[in-house]
Homo-oligomer: A and B are copies of this chain.
Amino acid sequence: MSSSERLIYLPLGGAGEVGMNAYVYGYGRPGKERYLLVDLGVTFPDMDGTPGVDLIFPDMAWLIERRDRLDGIVITHGHEDHIGALGHFWNELRVPVYCRRFTGALAARKMEEHGADFNAIEIVQPYPAMTKAGPFKFSMVPLSHSIPESSGVLIETPAGRIMHSGDFKLDGSPVVGEAFDAEMFDGIAKKGIKVLTCDSTNVGVNHPGRSESTVGPAITDLVKGASGMVVATTFASNVARVKTLAEAGVAAGRSVCLLGRAMQRMVATAKETGVLTDFPNTVPSEEAVQIPRENLMLIVTGSQGERRAASAQLSRGKYLGLKLAQGDMFLFSSKTIPGNERGVLRIVNAYSEMGVDVVDDSSGDYHVSGHANGPDLQAFRELMHPEMVVPMHGEHRMLRKHAEQAQASGTPSIIAVNGTMVDLTGPVPEVAEYIETGRVYLDGAVKVGAMDGIVRSRLKMAMNGHVLVTLILENDEPLGEPWAEISGLAEVGRSNAPLAEVIEADVDQFLGRAGDATLADDDKIEEQIHRIVRQACSKEIGKKPEVTVVTSRLT
Protein backbone atom coordinates (compact mmCIF):
# COMPACT_ATOMS: atom_id res chain seq x y z
CA MET A 1 0.00 0.00 0.00
CA SER A 2 1.32 3.38 -1.02
CA SER A 3 1.50 5.75 1.91
CA SER A 4 -0.68 8.20 -0.03
CA GLU A 5 -3.61 5.81 -0.18
CA ARG A 6 -6.27 5.88 2.48
CA LEU A 7 -9.22 3.91 3.78
CA ILE A 8 -12.34 5.94 4.51
CA TYR A 9 -15.80 5.47 5.99
CA LEU A 10 -18.66 7.83 5.19
CA PRO A 11 -22.18 7.30 6.52
CA LEU A 12 -24.79 8.91 4.26
CA GLY A 13 -27.67 7.58 6.39
CA GLY A 14 -28.18 5.64 9.61
CA ALA A 15 -25.56 7.40 11.73
CA GLY A 16 -27.33 9.81 14.05
CA GLU A 17 -30.72 8.14 13.54
CA VAL A 18 -32.39 4.76 13.50
CA GLY A 19 -33.33 4.09 9.88
CA MET A 20 -32.19 4.66 6.26
CA ASN A 21 -28.81 2.94 6.53
CA ALA A 22 -26.27 3.80 3.83
CA TYR A 23 -22.55 3.49 4.55
CA VAL A 24 -19.78 4.19 2.06
CA TYR A 25 -16.30 2.67 2.35
CA GLY A 26 -13.55 4.01 0.12
CA TYR A 27 -10.00 3.01 -0.64
CA GLY A 28 -7.41 4.81 -2.77
CA ARG A 29 -5.63 8.13 -3.07
CA PRO A 30 -7.67 11.03 -1.65
CA GLY A 31 -10.25 12.08 -4.22
CA LYS A 32 -9.53 8.96 -6.29
CA GLU A 33 -10.89 6.32 -3.91
CA ARG A 34 -12.92 3.40 -5.18
CA TYR A 35 -16.13 2.93 -3.22
CA LEU A 36 -18.26 0.17 -1.81
CA LEU A 37 -21.75 1.01 -0.49
CA VAL A 38 -23.17 -1.09 2.33
CA ASP A 39 -27.00 -0.94 2.52
CA LEU A 40 -29.40 1.54 0.95
CA GLY A 41 -32.44 1.90 3.18
CA VAL A 42 -35.38 4.14 3.86
CA THR A 43 -36.94 5.71 6.88
CA PHE A 44 -40.64 6.32 7.36
CA PRO A 45 -42.50 9.64 7.34
CA ASP A 46 -44.80 10.93 10.06
CA MET A 47 -47.44 13.63 10.37
CA ASP A 48 -45.20 15.74 12.63
CA GLY A 49 -42.68 16.63 9.99
CA THR A 50 -43.46 14.87 6.73
CA PRO A 51 -47.22 14.68 6.10
CA GLY A 52 -48.18 13.07 2.81
CA VAL A 53 -44.62 11.90 2.15
CA ASP A 54 -44.37 8.26 1.06
CA LEU A 55 -40.79 7.40 2.01
CA ILE A 56 -37.64 9.12 3.21
CA PHE A 57 -34.28 8.37 1.58
CA PRO A 58 -30.74 9.41 2.39
CA ASP A 59 -29.54 12.07 -0.02
CA MET A 60 -27.30 10.04 -2.34
CA ALA A 61 -26.15 12.99 -4.47
CA TRP A 62 -22.54 12.75 -3.27
CA LEU A 63 -22.24 9.13 -4.32
CA ILE A 64 -24.23 9.56 -7.54
CA GLU A 65 -21.74 12.25 -8.62
CA ARG A 66 -18.96 9.71 -8.07
CA ARG A 67 -20.73 6.63 -9.34
CA ASP A 68 -17.96 5.88 -11.84
CA ARG A 69 -15.84 5.03 -8.81
CA LEU A 70 -18.49 2.87 -7.10
CA ASP A 71 -17.74 -0.85 -7.40
CA GLY A 72 -20.82 -2.33 -5.82
CA ILE A 73 -23.62 -2.24 -3.27
CA VAL A 74 -23.71 -4.85 -0.51
CA ILE A 75 -27.02 -5.44 1.28
CA THR A 76 -26.72 -6.94 4.75
CA HIS A 77 -30.38 -7.95 5.14
CA GLY A 78 -33.88 -7.37 3.85
CA HIS A 79 -35.32 -4.86 6.32
CA GLU A 80 -36.70 -1.70 4.71
CA ASP A 81 -34.20 0.51 6.51
CA HIS A 82 -31.40 -1.38 4.77
CA ILE A 83 -32.88 -2.29 1.40
CA GLY A 84 -35.88 0.01 0.84
CA ALA A 85 -34.17 2.69 -1.28
CA LEU A 86 -32.41 0.27 -3.60
CA GLY A 87 -35.08 0.30 -6.31
CA HIS A 88 -35.35 4.08 -6.11
CA PHE A 89 -31.65 4.81 -6.61
CA TRP A 90 -30.27 1.91 -8.59
CA ASN A 91 -30.85 3.62 -11.94
CA GLU A 92 -28.66 6.46 -10.76
CA LEU A 93 -25.91 4.14 -9.50
CA ARG A 94 -26.01 1.13 -11.88
CA VAL A 95 -23.55 -1.18 -10.15
CA PRO A 96 -23.83 -4.80 -9.03
CA VAL A 97 -25.91 -5.44 -5.89
CA TYR A 98 -24.46 -8.17 -3.71
CA CYS A 99 -26.50 -10.09 -1.17
CA ARG A 100 -27.47 -13.53 0.01
CA ARG A 101 -30.34 -15.47 -1.49
CA PHE A 102 -33.32 -14.54 0.67
CA THR A 103 -32.31 -10.86 0.71
CA GLY A 104 -31.83 -11.13 -3.05
CA ALA A 105 -35.40 -12.33 -3.55
CA LEU A 106 -36.67 -9.30 -1.61
CA ALA A 107 -34.27 -6.98 -3.42
CA ALA A 108 -35.30 -8.28 -6.84
CA ARG A 109 -38.95 -7.46 -6.17
CA LYS A 110 -38.07 -3.96 -4.95
CA MET A 111 -35.93 -3.28 -8.00
CA GLU A 112 -38.51 -4.67 -10.42
CA GLU A 113 -41.22 -2.48 -8.88
CA HIS A 114 -39.19 0.64 -9.63
CA GLY A 115 -37.91 -0.21 -13.08
CA ALA A 116 -34.41 -1.11 -11.94
CA ASP A 117 -32.55 -3.97 -13.55
CA PHE A 118 -32.85 -6.84 -11.10
CA ASN A 119 -30.26 -8.76 -13.09
CA ALA A 120 -27.78 -6.52 -11.31
CA ILE A 121 -28.34 -8.62 -8.20
CA GLU A 122 -25.55 -11.08 -7.58
CA ILE A 123 -26.29 -13.72 -5.01
CA VAL A 124 -23.23 -14.49 -2.95
CA GLN A 125 -22.48 -17.43 -0.68
CA PRO A 126 -21.73 -16.77 2.99
CA TYR A 127 -18.32 -16.79 4.63
CA PRO A 128 -15.76 -18.14 3.91
CA ALA A 129 -16.73 -17.39 0.26
CA MET A 130 -15.18 -14.07 -0.79
CA THR A 131 -16.26 -11.70 -3.57
CA LYS A 132 -14.04 -9.15 -5.30
CA ALA A 133 -15.28 -5.64 -6.04
CA GLY A 134 -12.62 -3.12 -7.08
CA PRO A 135 -9.89 -2.96 -4.41
CA PHE A 136 -12.22 -4.68 -1.93
CA LYS A 137 -12.78 -8.33 -1.20
CA PHE A 138 -15.77 -9.02 0.97
CA SER A 139 -17.66 -11.86 2.56
CA MET A 140 -21.15 -12.11 4.05
CA VAL A 141 -20.73 -13.44 7.59
CA PRO A 142 -23.93 -14.88 9.11
CA LEU A 143 -25.11 -13.01 12.22
CA SER A 144 -28.63 -13.48 13.48
CA HIS A 145 -31.19 -10.66 13.59
CA SER A 146 -34.98 -10.51 13.29
CA ILE A 147 -35.02 -11.50 9.61
CA PRO A 148 -33.42 -14.49 7.91
CA GLU A 149 -29.91 -14.43 6.50
CA SER A 150 -28.88 -11.19 8.13
CA SER A 151 -25.13 -10.87 7.73
CA GLY A 152 -22.17 -8.84 8.72
CA VAL A 153 -19.78 -7.88 5.97
CA LEU A 154 -16.11 -8.70 6.30
CA ILE A 155 -14.32 -6.29 3.96
CA GLU A 156 -10.68 -6.85 3.12
CA THR A 157 -8.77 -3.84 1.87
CA PRO A 158 -5.06 -3.20 1.32
CA ALA A 159 -5.24 -1.02 4.45
CA GLY A 160 -6.70 -3.72 6.64
CA ARG A 161 -9.84 -5.70 7.35
CA ILE A 162 -13.17 -4.22 8.34
CA MET A 163 -15.96 -6.05 10.10
CA HIS A 164 -19.21 -4.23 9.34
CA SER A 165 -21.77 -5.83 11.66
CA GLY A 166 -25.03 -4.87 10.01
CA ASP A 167 -27.96 -5.20 12.42
CA PHE A 168 -27.32 -8.19 14.63
CA LYS A 169 -27.64 -10.02 17.89
CA LEU A 170 -25.73 -12.91 19.37
CA ASP A 171 -28.19 -15.77 19.21
CA GLY A 172 -27.11 -19.34 19.78
CA SER A 173 -30.52 -20.71 18.71
CA PRO A 174 -32.32 -18.29 16.42
CA VAL A 175 -35.12 -20.73 15.37
CA VAL A 176 -34.57 -19.89 11.69
CA GLY A 177 -31.13 -19.53 10.11
CA GLU A 178 -27.58 -19.86 11.36
CA ALA A 179 -26.77 -19.73 15.07
CA PHE A 180 -24.08 -17.32 16.24
CA ASP A 181 -20.81 -19.08 15.61
CA ALA A 182 -18.26 -17.74 18.08
CA GLU A 183 -15.57 -20.05 16.76
CA MET A 184 -15.97 -18.77 13.24
CA PHE A 185 -15.73 -15.18 14.42
CA ASP A 186 -12.75 -16.04 16.55
CA GLY A 187 -11.11 -17.43 13.40
CA ILE A 188 -11.91 -14.22 11.52
CA ALA A 189 -10.57 -12.11 14.36
CA LYS A 190 -7.32 -14.07 14.53
CA LYS A 191 -6.32 -12.66 11.14
CA GLY A 192 -6.73 -9.18 12.56
CA ILE A 193 -9.61 -6.73 12.41
CA LYS A 194 -8.66 -3.12 11.85
CA VAL A 195 -12.15 -1.66 12.14
CA LEU A 196 -15.34 -2.91 13.71
CA THR A 197 -18.23 -0.85 12.36
CA CYS A 198 -21.02 -1.82 14.67
CA ASP A 199 -24.81 -1.62 15.25
CA SER A 200 -25.60 0.72 18.16
CA THR A 201 -29.40 0.70 18.50
CA ASN A 202 -29.57 -1.33 21.72
CA VAL A 203 -26.35 -0.16 23.37
CA GLY A 204 -28.43 1.44 26.15
CA VAL A 205 -29.96 -1.86 27.25
CA ASN A 206 -27.89 -3.12 30.15
CA HIS A 207 -28.77 -6.81 30.27
CA PRO A 208 -27.63 -9.46 27.76
CA GLY A 209 -30.07 -10.09 24.93
CA ARG A 210 -32.30 -13.17 24.94
CA SER A 211 -32.45 -15.80 22.24
CA GLU A 212 -35.32 -15.97 19.80
CA SER A 213 -35.86 -19.53 20.99
CA THR A 214 -36.85 -18.38 24.50
CA VAL A 215 -40.22 -16.95 23.47
CA GLY A 216 -41.61 -20.21 22.04
CA PRO A 217 -42.56 -21.93 25.34
CA ALA A 218 -44.28 -18.83 26.78
CA ILE A 219 -46.25 -18.19 23.60
CA THR A 220 -47.26 -21.85 23.42
CA ASP A 221 -48.52 -21.76 27.00
CA LEU A 222 -50.44 -18.57 26.28
CA VAL A 223 -52.14 -19.98 23.18
CA LYS A 224 -52.92 -23.26 24.94
CA GLY A 225 -54.60 -21.35 27.73
CA ALA A 226 -56.79 -19.28 25.42
CA SER A 227 -60.46 -20.11 25.05
CA GLY A 228 -61.56 -18.03 22.05
CA MET A 229 -59.84 -17.15 18.80
CA VAL A 230 -56.17 -16.20 19.08
CA VAL A 231 -54.75 -13.50 16.85
CA ALA A 232 -51.04 -12.70 16.96
CA THR A 233 -49.07 -10.03 15.19
CA THR A 234 -45.39 -9.50 14.57
CA PHE A 235 -43.28 -8.08 11.73
CA ALA A 236 -43.87 -10.30 8.70
CA SER A 237 -40.14 -10.34 8.01
CA ASN A 238 -39.49 -11.86 11.44
CA VAL A 239 -39.90 -15.28 9.89
CA ALA A 240 -38.55 -17.07 12.94
CA ARG A 241 -41.23 -15.45 15.12
CA VAL A 242 -43.95 -16.24 12.58
CA LYS A 243 -42.80 -19.86 12.71
CA THR A 244 -42.80 -19.85 16.51
CA LEU A 245 -46.32 -18.42 16.54
CA ALA A 246 -47.57 -20.95 13.99
CA GLU A 247 -46.04 -23.83 15.91
CA ALA A 248 -47.66 -22.57 19.11
CA GLY A 249 -51.02 -22.59 17.31
CA VAL A 250 -50.50 -26.13 16.10
CA ALA A 251 -49.33 -27.27 19.52
CA ALA A 252 -52.61 -25.90 20.92
CA GLY A 253 -54.55 -27.91 18.34
CA ARG A 254 -55.48 -24.90 16.25
CA SER A 255 -55.59 -24.29 12.52
CA VAL A 256 -53.29 -21.46 11.55
CA CYS A 257 -54.17 -18.77 9.04
CA LEU A 258 -51.78 -16.06 7.81
CA LEU A 259 -53.49 -12.73 7.16
CA GLY A 260 -52.07 -9.74 5.34
CA ARG A 261 -50.23 -9.71 2.03
CA ALA A 262 -46.80 -9.06 3.54
CA MET A 263 -47.20 -12.00 5.93
CA GLN A 264 -48.08 -14.43 3.17
CA ARG A 265 -45.44 -13.11 0.80
CA MET A 266 -42.65 -13.18 3.36
CA VAL A 267 -43.36 -16.75 4.42
CA ALA A 268 -43.61 -17.81 0.77
CA THR A 269 -40.29 -16.13 -0.07
CA ALA A 270 -38.62 -17.72 2.94
CA LYS A 271 -39.85 -21.15 1.86
CA GLU A 272 -38.87 -20.64 -1.79
CA THR A 273 -35.37 -19.57 -0.91
CA GLY A 274 -34.94 -22.48 1.44
CA VAL A 275 -34.41 -20.48 4.63
CA LEU A 276 -37.71 -21.65 6.10
CA THR A 277 -38.36 -25.36 6.43
CA ASP A 278 -40.91 -27.33 8.45
CA PHE A 279 -43.36 -24.46 8.56
CA PRO A 280 -46.72 -25.78 9.76
CA ASN A 281 -49.58 -26.12 7.29
CA THR A 282 -51.84 -23.12 7.13
CA VAL A 283 -55.40 -22.59 5.97
CA PRO A 284 -56.59 -19.77 3.72
CA SER A 285 -59.02 -17.20 5.13
CA GLU A 286 -61.94 -18.75 3.19
CA GLU A 287 -61.43 -21.93 5.16
CA ALA A 288 -60.67 -20.15 8.40
CA VAL A 289 -64.16 -18.60 8.53
CA GLN A 290 -65.59 -22.12 8.78
CA ILE A 291 -63.40 -23.13 11.73
CA PRO A 292 -64.75 -22.76 15.30
CA ARG A 293 -62.98 -19.81 16.92
CA GLU A 294 -61.49 -21.88 19.73
CA ASN A 295 -59.72 -23.97 17.08
CA LEU A 296 -58.30 -21.05 15.10
CA MET A 297 -55.20 -18.91 15.28
CA LEU A 298 -54.56 -15.97 12.98
CA ILE A 299 -51.08 -14.55 12.42
CA VAL A 300 -51.52 -11.06 11.05
CA THR A 301 -49.66 -7.99 9.80
CA GLY A 302 -49.82 -4.63 11.54
CA SER A 303 -47.81 -4.86 14.76
CA GLN A 304 -47.17 -1.11 14.57
CA GLY A 305 -50.83 -0.15 14.27
CA GLU A 306 -50.64 0.56 10.54
CA ARG A 307 -54.11 1.66 9.47
CA ARG A 308 -54.39 -0.61 6.47
CA ALA A 309 -52.80 -3.74 7.91
CA ALA A 310 -54.82 -6.77 9.00
CA SER A 311 -54.61 -5.98 12.74
CA ALA A 312 -56.20 -2.55 12.22
CA GLN A 313 -58.81 -3.91 9.81
CA LEU A 314 -59.82 -6.54 12.36
CA SER A 315 -60.03 -3.87 15.06
CA ARG A 316 -62.57 -2.00 12.95
CA GLY A 317 -64.80 -5.03 12.26
CA LYS A 318 -65.03 -7.86 9.78
CA TYR A 319 -61.98 -8.56 7.61
CA LEU A 320 -62.08 -11.24 4.93
CA GLY A 321 -65.10 -12.68 6.69
CA LEU A 322 -63.30 -12.93 10.06
CA LYS A 323 -64.41 -10.97 13.09
CA LEU A 324 -63.13 -10.89 16.66
CA ALA A 325 -65.49 -11.13 19.60
CA GLN A 326 -65.72 -11.14 23.38
CA GLY A 327 -63.31 -13.70 24.83
CA ASP A 328 -60.87 -13.73 21.92
CA MET A 329 -57.22 -12.87 22.47
CA PHE A 330 -54.91 -10.56 20.56
CA LEU A 331 -51.15 -10.91 21.09
CA PHE A 332 -48.57 -8.30 20.19
CA SER A 333 -45.45 -10.44 19.77
CA SER A 334 -43.57 -7.24 19.00
CA LYS A 335 -42.55 -3.96 20.52
CA THR A 336 -43.95 -0.61 19.54
CA ILE A 337 -41.40 1.52 17.69
CA PRO A 338 -41.24 5.03 19.20
CA GLY A 339 -43.65 7.26 17.32
CA ASN A 340 -46.15 4.47 16.62
CA GLU A 341 -47.68 4.46 20.13
CA ARG A 342 -50.87 6.27 19.13
CA GLY A 343 -51.64 3.93 16.25
CA VAL A 344 -51.05 0.86 18.40
CA LEU A 345 -53.17 2.17 21.29
CA ARG A 346 -55.99 2.97 18.87
CA ILE A 347 -56.13 -0.74 18.01
CA VAL A 348 -55.79 -1.87 21.62
CA ASN A 349 -58.74 0.27 22.67
CA ALA A 350 -60.82 -0.86 19.70
CA TYR A 351 -60.23 -4.46 20.79
CA SER A 352 -61.09 -3.52 24.35
CA GLU A 353 -64.44 -2.27 23.10
CA MET A 354 -65.02 -5.66 21.47
CA GLY A 355 -64.17 -7.45 24.72
CA VAL A 356 -60.99 -8.93 23.24
CA ASP A 357 -58.11 -9.53 25.67
CA VAL A 358 -54.96 -7.82 24.45
CA VAL A 359 -51.59 -9.19 25.51
CA ASP A 360 -48.53 -7.06 24.80
CA ASP A 361 -44.82 -7.49 25.34
CA SER A 362 -44.72 -5.66 28.68
CA SER A 363 -44.06 -8.92 30.54
CA GLY A 364 -41.04 -9.56 28.31
CA ASP A 365 -42.26 -13.11 27.70
CA TYR A 366 -43.60 -12.84 24.17
CA HIS A 367 -41.00 -10.80 22.36
CA VAL A 368 -37.23 -10.41 22.18
CA SER A 369 -35.26 -7.79 20.32
CA GLY A 370 -33.20 -8.51 17.22
CA HIS A 371 -30.38 -6.19 18.28
CA ALA A 372 -27.33 -6.76 20.46
CA ASN A 373 -27.63 -5.14 23.89
CA GLY A 374 -24.85 -3.30 25.72
CA PRO A 375 -23.21 -6.41 27.22
CA ASP A 376 -23.52 -8.25 23.87
CA LEU A 377 -21.73 -5.43 22.08
CA GLN A 378 -19.01 -5.62 24.69
CA ALA A 379 -18.69 -9.39 24.21
CA PHE A 380 -18.65 -9.13 20.43
CA ARG A 381 -15.98 -6.44 20.54
CA GLU A 382 -13.87 -8.54 22.88
CA LEU A 383 -14.22 -11.46 20.50
CA MET A 384 -13.25 -9.40 17.44
CA HIS A 385 -10.59 -7.32 19.26
CA PRO A 386 -10.52 -4.67 16.54
CA GLU A 387 -8.01 -1.83 16.43
CA MET A 388 -10.88 0.64 16.46
CA VAL A 389 -14.66 0.72 16.72
CA VAL A 390 -16.91 2.92 14.60
CA PRO A 391 -20.43 2.93 16.08
CA MET A 392 -23.10 3.02 13.38
CA HIS A 393 -26.89 2.73 13.11
CA GLY A 394 -28.27 4.71 16.00
CA GLU A 395 -29.31 8.09 17.28
CA HIS A 396 -26.52 10.35 18.49
CA ARG A 397 -27.05 9.30 22.12
CA MET A 398 -26.55 5.65 21.07
CA LEU A 399 -23.43 6.31 18.98
CA ARG A 400 -22.05 8.27 21.90
CA LYS A 401 -22.74 5.57 24.46
CA HIS A 402 -21.27 2.94 22.16
CA ALA A 403 -18.10 4.99 21.56
CA GLU A 404 -17.77 5.54 25.31
CA GLN A 405 -18.15 1.82 25.94
CA ALA A 406 -15.39 1.01 23.44
CA GLN A 407 -13.06 3.70 24.74
CA ALA A 408 -13.66 2.60 28.32
CA SER A 409 -12.26 -0.80 27.42
CA GLY A 410 -9.29 0.70 25.61
CA THR A 411 -10.44 0.57 22.00
CA PRO A 412 -10.21 3.84 20.05
CA SER A 413 -13.56 4.99 18.73
CA ILE A 414 -15.30 7.99 17.18
CA ILE A 415 -18.76 9.49 16.94
CA ALA A 416 -19.31 9.89 13.21
CA VAL A 417 -22.77 11.05 12.18
CA ASN A 418 -24.07 11.20 8.61
CA GLY A 419 -21.72 13.21 6.43
CA THR A 420 -18.63 12.65 8.58
CA MET A 421 -15.92 11.18 6.39
CA VAL A 422 -13.60 9.24 8.68
CA ASP A 423 -10.05 8.30 7.76
CA LEU A 424 -9.46 4.78 9.06
CA THR A 425 -5.92 4.43 7.73
CA GLY A 426 -3.99 5.24 10.89
CA PRO A 427 -4.11 3.68 14.33
CA VAL A 428 -7.14 5.75 15.39
CA PRO A 429 -10.14 6.96 13.42
CA GLU A 430 -9.85 10.59 12.35
CA VAL A 431 -12.31 12.98 10.73
CA ALA A 432 -11.13 13.64 7.16
CA GLU A 433 -13.86 16.06 6.11
CA TYR A 434 -17.55 16.81 6.35
CA ILE A 435 -19.78 16.06 3.37
CA GLU A 436 -23.13 17.76 2.87
CA THR A 437 -25.81 15.14 3.38
CA GLY A 438 -29.50 15.18 4.08
CA ARG A 439 -32.79 13.58 3.29
CA VAL A 440 -34.78 13.16 0.12
CA TYR A 441 -38.54 12.57 0.22
CA LEU A 442 -40.48 10.35 -2.09
CA ASP A 443 -43.61 12.46 -2.46
CA GLY A 444 -46.06 10.63 -4.68
CA ALA A 445 -43.93 9.67 -7.65
CA VAL A 446 -41.21 12.30 -7.37
CA LYS A 447 -38.18 12.84 -5.19
CA VAL A 448 -38.05 16.20 -3.45
CA GLY A 449 -35.31 17.52 -1.22
CA ALA A 450 -36.12 17.83 2.46
CA MET A 451 -34.93 21.42 2.32
CA ASP A 452 -36.86 22.35 -0.84
CA GLY A 453 -39.69 23.80 1.23
CA ILE A 454 -42.41 21.76 -0.48
CA VAL A 455 -43.38 19.76 2.57
CA ARG A 456 -42.76 22.75 4.82
CA SER A 457 -45.34 24.67 2.83
CA ARG A 458 -47.84 21.83 3.39
CA LEU A 459 -47.09 21.88 7.12
CA LYS A 460 -47.80 25.61 7.20
CA MET A 461 -51.16 25.08 5.53
CA ALA A 462 -51.94 22.35 8.05
CA MET A 463 -51.11 24.62 10.98
CA ASN A 464 -52.45 27.92 9.72
CA GLY A 465 -55.04 27.23 7.04
CA HIS A 466 -55.13 28.96 3.69
CA VAL A 467 -56.79 32.03 2.21
CA LEU A 468 -56.97 32.69 -1.48
CA VAL A 469 -57.74 36.14 -2.82
CA THR A 470 -58.40 36.79 -6.50
CA LEU A 471 -58.91 40.14 -8.10
CA ILE A 472 -59.18 41.48 -11.61
CA LEU A 473 -57.68 44.77 -12.74
CA GLU A 474 -58.56 46.45 -15.99
CA ASN A 475 -56.10 49.11 -17.07
CA ASP A 476 -54.78 49.11 -13.47
CA GLU A 477 -58.24 49.74 -12.03
CA PRO A 478 -60.13 47.13 -9.98
CA LEU A 479 -62.85 45.44 -12.03
CA GLY A 480 -65.63 44.19 -9.81
CA GLU A 481 -64.91 43.11 -6.26
CA PRO A 482 -62.15 40.91 -4.92
CA TRP A 483 -63.02 37.32 -4.09
CA ALA A 484 -61.76 35.42 -1.04
CA GLU A 485 -61.87 31.69 -0.51
CA ILE A 486 -60.87 30.10 2.79
CA SER A 487 -59.64 26.55 3.40
CA GLY A 488 -59.22 25.01 6.80
CA LEU A 489 -60.41 28.05 8.75
CA ALA A 490 -63.54 28.76 10.78
CA GLU A 491 -66.18 30.28 8.52
CA VAL A 492 -67.32 32.82 11.05
CA GLY A 493 -65.24 34.75 13.56
CA ARG A 494 -65.63 37.26 16.35
CA SER A 495 -67.72 39.76 14.39
CA ASN A 496 -70.23 37.05 13.47
CA ALA A 497 -69.87 37.97 9.80
CA PRO A 498 -68.56 35.33 7.38
CA LEU A 499 -64.76 35.48 7.44
CA ALA A 500 -64.53 35.50 3.63
CA GLU A 501 -66.77 38.57 3.51
CA VAL A 502 -64.73 40.39 6.14
CA ILE A 503 -61.58 39.71 4.10
CA GLU A 504 -63.24 40.81 0.87
CA ALA A 505 -64.42 44.06 2.44
CA ASP A 506 -60.96 44.82 3.84
CA VAL A 507 -59.27 44.07 0.51
CA ASP A 508 -61.88 46.09 -1.36
CA GLN A 509 -61.28 49.04 0.92
CA PHE A 510 -57.54 48.76 0.33
CA LEU A 511 -58.03 48.66 -3.45
CA GLY A 512 -60.31 51.70 -3.32
CA ARG A 513 -57.65 53.71 -1.50
CA ALA A 514 -54.57 52.37 -3.29
CA GLY A 515 -52.62 54.78 -5.46
CA ASP A 516 -51.80 54.23 -9.11
CA ALA A 517 -48.23 53.13 -8.37
CA THR A 518 -49.48 50.35 -6.11
CA LEU A 519 -52.18 49.17 -8.48
CA ALA A 520 -49.66 48.97 -11.31
CA ASP A 521 -47.39 46.68 -9.29
CA ASP A 522 -48.42 43.03 -8.70
CA ASP A 523 -45.77 42.54 -6.01
CA LYS A 524 -46.96 45.54 -4.04
CA ILE A 525 -50.59 44.46 -4.32
CA GLU A 526 -49.71 40.97 -3.18
CA GLU A 527 -47.64 42.19 -0.25
CA GLN A 528 -50.40 44.51 0.93
CA ILE A 529 -53.16 41.93 0.55
CA HIS A 530 -51.07 39.38 2.44
CA ARG A 531 -50.83 41.79 5.29
CA ILE A 532 -54.52 42.74 5.17
CA VAL A 533 -55.71 39.13 5.09
CA ARG A 534 -53.50 38.11 7.99
CA GLN A 535 -54.64 41.09 10.01
CA ALA A 536 -58.30 40.39 9.29
CA CYS A 537 -57.94 36.71 10.22
CA SER A 538 -55.95 37.51 13.30
CA LYS A 539 -58.67 39.89 14.47
CA GLU A 540 -61.58 37.63 13.54
CA ILE A 541 -60.34 34.15 14.43
CA GLY A 542 -56.92 34.59 16.02
CA LYS A 543 -54.99 32.84 13.24
CA LYS A 544 -52.53 34.04 10.61
CA PRO A 545 -53.15 31.89 7.57
CA GLU A 546 -51.07 31.19 4.48
CA VAL A 547 -52.22 33.52 1.73
CA THR A 548 -52.25 33.22 -2.05
CA VAL A 549 -53.11 36.27 -4.13
CA VAL A 550 -53.95 35.94 -7.82
CA THR A 551 -54.14 39.20 -9.74
CA SER A 552 -55.52 39.01 -13.26
CA ARG A 553 -54.98 41.98 -15.51
CA LEU A 554 -57.10 42.90 -18.49
CA THR A 555 -55.99 45.66 -20.80
Contact = CB atoms under 8 A, between A and B. Distances in A.
Contacts of A546: 487
A459 B457 contact: no
A416 to B, nearest CB: 13
A472 interface: yes
Contact of A396 (B353, B443, B457): B353
Contact of A445 (B48, B338, B494): B494
Contacts of A52: 462-465, 488, 543
A190 B540 CA distance: 56
A47 B462 contact: yes
B550 A488 contact: no
Contacts of A491: 454
A446 B493 contact: yes
Given A395-B349, A461-B458, A488-B455, A341 B338 contact: yes
Contact of A470 (B470, B537, B541): B470
A69 interface: no
A519 B353 CA distance: 52
Contact of A487 (B48, B349, B457, B540): B457
A550 B487 CA distance: 13
Contacts of A493: 445-446
Contacts of A349: 16, 395-397
A446 B396 CA distance: 41
B395 A345 contact: yes
Interface string A437-464: 0000001111010000011011101111
Contacts of A443: 489-490, 541, 543
A485 B466 CA distance: 13
A51 interface: yes
A548 interface: yes
Interface string A512-539: 0000000000000000000000000110
Nearest to A489: B454
Number of copies: 2
A133 to B, nearest CB: 33
Contacts of A554: 472, 479-480
A319 interface: no
Taking each of A47, A457, A488, which has the highest tally of chain B beta carbons within 10 Å of its own beta carbon? A488
A352 interface: yes
A101 interface: no
A245 to B, nearest CB: 22
Contacts of A483: 550, 552
Interface in A331-370: 338-339, 341-342, 345, 348-349, 351-353, 355, 358
A541 B487 contact: no
A201 to B, nearest CB: 13
B470 A550 contact: yes
A117 to B, nearest CB: 20
Contact of A480 (B51, B446, B488, B552): B552
A88 interface: no
A468 interface: yes
A353 B480 CA distance: 59
B485 A548 contact: yes
Interface string A24-62: 000000000000000000000011110110000000000
A274 interface: no
Contacts of A542: 444-446
Given A52-B543, A345-B395, A458-B461, A446 B494 contact: yes
A552 B341 contact: no
Contacts of A47: 46-49, 51, 462
Contact of A543 (B48, B444, B489, B543): B444
A145 interface: no
> Which of A51, A479, A540, A546 has the largest number of chain B CB atoms within 10 A?
A51
A400 interface: yes
A491 B468 CA distance: 19
Interface string A395-407: 1110010000000
A18 to B, nearest CB: 10
A552 B472 contact: yes
Nearest to A350: B396
Contact of A397 (B348, B462, B550): B348
Interface in A364-423: 395-397, 400
Interface in A259-305: none
Contacts of A455: 488
A349 B17 CA distance: 9
Contacts of A541: 443-446
Most buried by B among A445, A479, A491, A493: A445
Nearest to A553: B480
A339 B338 contact: no
Contacts of A538: 444
Contacts of A352: 395-397, 400
Which 6 pairs of residues, A with B, have the shortest CB-CB distance? A445-B542, A444-B542, A462-B462, A458-B488, A444-B543, A52-B463
7 contacts: A352-B395, A353-B396, A443-B543, A444-B490, A444-B537, A454-B491, A485-B550
